[in-house]
């Protein structure tokens, strides 16, 4: 080591707690067997799995201790890293990375072994090893409790891939704390289930729900969705939460389509058993929500709240009004449009909001869409544009003359609206939005 480096080492080494009881002569001996290094943020000092050949004393700054990409701890000034594999000549058990600028004192394996004759130094290293072993044991026990808690919270309602991502996060608890996050929200509900279930024995009602959820839940987890709540016969599903995925909007839309297909199969089975069909509505929206553990000390629940959650629920409710299965927001349409067959349905003001919302029907995937389905969507949107232009008679005529629209539920809603406006026209400053009086 250079003269300046040795001087700096002799000044800083006594500040390391585990070396503070060493004599000046012993500090001198140690300082001559290593070197001081300045390390940049993100620079790796020790790589997990590599054979240990270096010990580092952290003189200034902090370093992160990580294993399998998961941050276990942060070692501060005065800590020692690398000593375990240096002593037993084994592979490093963790990766050590600088957090910000760091100054370390490095001792090679060869120089480290020359210090074995210094009993005080060996005692200091052994004390450090004992303390680190105790900390690791406490940390592992804490990690086990934390992992079990996370498994209890998410394990039954997410795919294994999503659960693995949660558990491997560098700070999984932060996923549960209150935070603003972007989520794709899917809300589904069995229509008129309360009235429907009044005529069913309790056992039959439970059997129906088990059959229904038994078909729907695997579709959600297949597409990395998190089933946040079962609300009677309803499902609240989150995508992009609690962990982020780049294609969550597409996954949510695909889930809705497969849920619709699965319902058709379920109703076919019910028909064969002489049982009535059931109908569902699905709303999907994407936007910012407040996510986290919400509740009391006695009972906490990870969930989401906010205006965008409410809008998603309103979209699901509107499926009954328009006679369609899946309605999506304009925000979602902008993220999935190229993959799916989508038609504009209306511009509405939903209850609880003042700003108009453009709503769209998710009809299917573009790859499986038939020409007649594409044509019907185009014809309906032409009629909708006539409606927005206040050309209500032309809109009615187009729907009446078009065979594709004759039995189309949204077209019937649009025609009735035009007939209403012919009798009671909206004001001249009408913004084309229709105020919905129901949730």
pLDDT of amino acid 319: 96
Task: Look up the CATH number of the domain holding residue 200.
Answer: 3.30.70.1230
Q: Is residue 144 part of a domain?
A: no
- List Cα–Cα distances, 232 to 261, 315, 384, in angstroms: 22, 18, 36
pLDDT of amino acid 337: 79
Judged on CB neighbours under 10 Å (0-12, 13-18, 19+), 42 is exposed
pLDDT of amino acid 107: 82
pLDDT of amino acid 116: 63
Local structure of residue 159 (DSSP, 8 states)? -
Residues 349 and 233 occupy one common structural domain: yes
Q: Is residue 17 part of a domain?
A: yes
Q: Is residue 98 part of a domain?
A: yes
pLDDT of amino acid 145: 47
Domain count, the chain: 2
Give dist(CA 284, CA 326) in Å, integer: 8
Q: Is residue 145 part of a domain?
A: no
Residues 103 and 234 occupy one common structural domain: no
Residues 101 and 220 occupy one common structural domain: no
- pLDDT tens for 293-304 read 766 655 567 788
Q: Is residue 142 part of a domain?
A: no
Q: What is the pTM of this model?
A: 0.65
Task: Look up the CATH number of the domain holding residue 23.
Answer: 2.60.120.10
- Give one DSSP letter per residue of 124-140, joined into a string: HHHHHHHHHHHHHHHHH
Residue 113 scores a pLDDT above 80: no
Residues 252 and 345 occupy one common structural domain: yes
Which residues partner with 289 through β-bridges?
Answer: 181
**Of 120-129, 140-149, 217-226, the least confident:** 140-149
Residues 294 and 256 occupy one common structural domain: yes
Give dist(CA 303, CA 289) in Å, integer: 10
**Of 113-127, 337-351, 395-409, the least confident:** 113-127
Residue 95 scores a pLDDT above 80: yes
Q: Is residue 146 part of a domain?
A: no
- pLDDT tens for 51-70 read 877 878 888 899 988 887 77
Residues 306 and 180 occupy one common structural domain: yes
Residues 274 and 241 occupy one common structural domain: yes
Query: Could you tell me the maximum CA-CA distance found in the chain, to the nearest angstrom?
Result: 103
Residue 259 scores a pLDDT above 90: yes
For residue 330, what are the domain limits? Answer: 153-435
Q: What is the H or E stretch that residue 99 is in? A: strand 95-108
Residues 107 and 215 occupy one common structural domain: no
Block residue for tokens 């009809």 = 363
Domain boundary among 79, 103, 136: 136
Domain boundary among 93, 111, 136: 136
Region 387-411 average pLDDT:
94
- pLDDT tens for 324-360 read 999 999 999 999 978 899 999 999 999 888 899 999 9
Domain boundary among 136, 167, 185: 136
Residues 161 and 106 occupy one common structural domain: no
What the block records as the tokens of 315 is 């979209």
């Amino acid at each position: 080591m250079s003269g300046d480096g040795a001087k700096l080492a002799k000044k800083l080494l006594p500040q390391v707690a585990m070396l503070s009881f060493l004599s000046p002569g012993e500090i001198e001996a140690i300082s001559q067997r290593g070197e001081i290094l300045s390390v940049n943020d993100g620079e790796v000092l020790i790589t997990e799995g590599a054979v240990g050949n270096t010990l580092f004393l952290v003189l200034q700054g902090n370093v992160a201790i990580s294993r399998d990409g998961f941050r276990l701890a942060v070692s501060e000034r005065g800590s020692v890293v690398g000593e375990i594999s240096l002593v037993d000549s084994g592979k490093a058990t963790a990766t050590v990375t600088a957090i910000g600028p760091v100054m370390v004192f490095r001792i090679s394996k060869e120089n480290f072994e020359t210090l074995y004759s210094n009993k005080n130094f060996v005692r200091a290293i052994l004390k450090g090893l004992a303390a680190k072993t105790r900390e690791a044991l406490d940390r592992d026990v804490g990690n086990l409790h934390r992992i079990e808690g996370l498994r209890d919270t998410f394990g039954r309602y997410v795919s294994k891939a999503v659960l693995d991502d949660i558990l491997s996060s560098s700070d999984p608890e932060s996923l549960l704390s209150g935070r603003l996050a972007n989520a794709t929200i899917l809300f589904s509900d069995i229509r008129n289930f309360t009235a429907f279930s009044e005529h069913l024995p309790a056992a039959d009602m439970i059997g129906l729900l088990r059959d229904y959820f038994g078909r729907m839940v695997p579709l959600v987890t297949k597409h990395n969705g998190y089933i946040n709540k079962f609300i009677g016969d309803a499902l609240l599903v989150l995508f992009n939460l609690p962990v982020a995925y780049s294609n969550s909007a597409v996954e949510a839309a695909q889930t809705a389509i497969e849920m619709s297909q699965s319902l058709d199969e379920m109703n076919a089975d019910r028909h064969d058993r002489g049982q009535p069909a059931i109908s569902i509505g699905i709303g999907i929206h994407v936007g910012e929500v407040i996510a986290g553990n919400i509740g009391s000390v006695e009972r906490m629940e990870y969930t989401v709240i906010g205006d965008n959650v409410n809008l998603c629920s309103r979209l699901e409710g509107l499926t009954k009004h328009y006679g369609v299965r899946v309605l999506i927001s304009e925000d979602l349409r902008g993220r999935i449009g190229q993959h799916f067959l989508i038609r504009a349905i209306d511009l509405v003001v939903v209850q609880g909001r003042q700003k108009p919302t453009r709503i769209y029907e998710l009809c299917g995937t573009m790859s499986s869409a038939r020409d007649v389905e594409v044509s019907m969507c185009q014809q309906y949107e032409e009629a909708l544009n006539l409606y927005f232009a206040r050309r209500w008679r032309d809109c009615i005529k187009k729907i009446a003359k078009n065979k594709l629209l004759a039995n189309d539920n949204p077209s019937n809603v649009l025609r009735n609206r035009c007939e209403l406006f012919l009798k009671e026209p909206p004001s001249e400053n009408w913004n084309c939005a229709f105020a919905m009086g129901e949730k």
